[in-house]
Amino acid sequence: MNKTRVAIAAALLVALALPARGQVKLGGYLSLEYIKGQADSDYSRGDVENLLAGFLARGEIEREFGFALEARALGVSSFDLVQAWAGFFPSKVFTVRAGLFLVPFGAWNLASRPHETLLIRTPLNLEYLYPASWRELGLVLEGETGGLTYAAYIGNGLAETDGPVQAQQFSDNNADKAKGGRLGLIIGQTIRAGVSFYTGKYDDLNMRDLILHGADLTWVTSLWEIHGEYTRGILENPQPFEKGRSEGFAIWTTMKYRTVQPIGSFQKVKYTDSYHGGGIDLDQRRWTAGLRWVVGSALFIKAEYNWNKVEGLDLKNNQFQVQVGLSF
């Protein structure tokens, strides 16, 4: 914790010192949630939770060099670095960044801050694929030309855990380096699409691969906004256990009607793993209905109700959630 606080303090000091050069953009975000669930929910009594405060500085050091620093507080005692990288930007076609960066896998992970999303909760299939705000410590190459975008990265990768989602780590637990990337397509101002890939050893003995695939699509018009992500994961397990597998998709949409916008979503995930977690066989669906009220250019309120259905189980696990947020 002490090292984290020192790193965040240093990042903030650097960010605050640089604006005098006239090349730095400062911003931030703040959000708080109320959650009330049914009897089998973790929030059966109704809780005020998930206080989030973030600070972001991004800018140029010199004409072809830039940086980003993003720190956040989760609750009142947990501090975290989201981004801390330096980059070389000789052209739009080719850029390179080194340090701590958000992994370019799909669209949600790159823009999941409260003011950037329609939904309050992370889509179900992404929740079971990778850690929230998945980051990598390494090197990423990116570029755009003629409506095509690309990103390729290398870093320490994810580590093995007992649960369905592999652990975020910032020092490698084996000798392998993880690799991945995303290839995207931009069509005018309306359509953005992409396919993503990741592979890396995730166990301490450097023997078993974790392989992730993804596809994403965004369609935005003056009235409608539709997003979708498909995901698939394969975990190699020790003999005689079969491979762990995760597959699912999520679709979420809104009609941008003035300041009050209805939101709907359907999400599905199937996760099987005979080795981790004492054996997991999950088949879950989630329907979401909600509203987003854009109070002003910086303030918003989101409310949603989630109907959760787990195949083979009769759980009273639906959930109502309200999020109040601010961006600046």
What fold characterizes domain 2-327? Porin (2.40.160)
Domain ranges of the chain: 2-327
Over the stretch 247-259, which tens digit does the pLDDT of each residue have? Answer: 999 999 999 888 9
Are residues 101 and 83 in contact, defined by beta-carbon separation less than 8 angstroms? yes
At 316, which amino acid appears?
K
Rounded CA separation 225/111 (Å): 15
pLDDT higher than 80, residue 3: no
pLDDT higher than 70, residue 21: no
Which range of 14-18, 59-63, 272-276 scores highest in mean pLDDT? It is: 272-276
- Show the tokens assigned to 147: 């409506």
What's the pLDDT score for residue 151? 98
Over the stretch 139-163, which tens digit does the pLDDT of each residue have? Answer: 999 999 999 999 999 999 999 998 8
Over the stretch 221-240, which tens digit does the pLDDT of each residue have? Answer: 999 999 999 999 999 999 99
pTM above 0.85, yes or no: yes
pLDDT higher than 60, residue 126: yes
Are residues 128 and 166 in contact, defined by beta-carbon separation less than 8 angstroms? no
- Give the pLDDT band (50/70/90) at residue 1: very low
Are residues 298 and 286 in contact, defined by beta-carbon separation less than 8 angstroms? no
Rounded CA separation 67/41 (Å): 42
Q: What is the DSSP letter of 247?
A: E
Q: What is the DSSP letter of 258?
A: T
Rounded CA separation 305/287 (Å): 8
Rounded CA separation 281/286 (Å): 17
Neighbours of 18 (CB within 10 A): 18
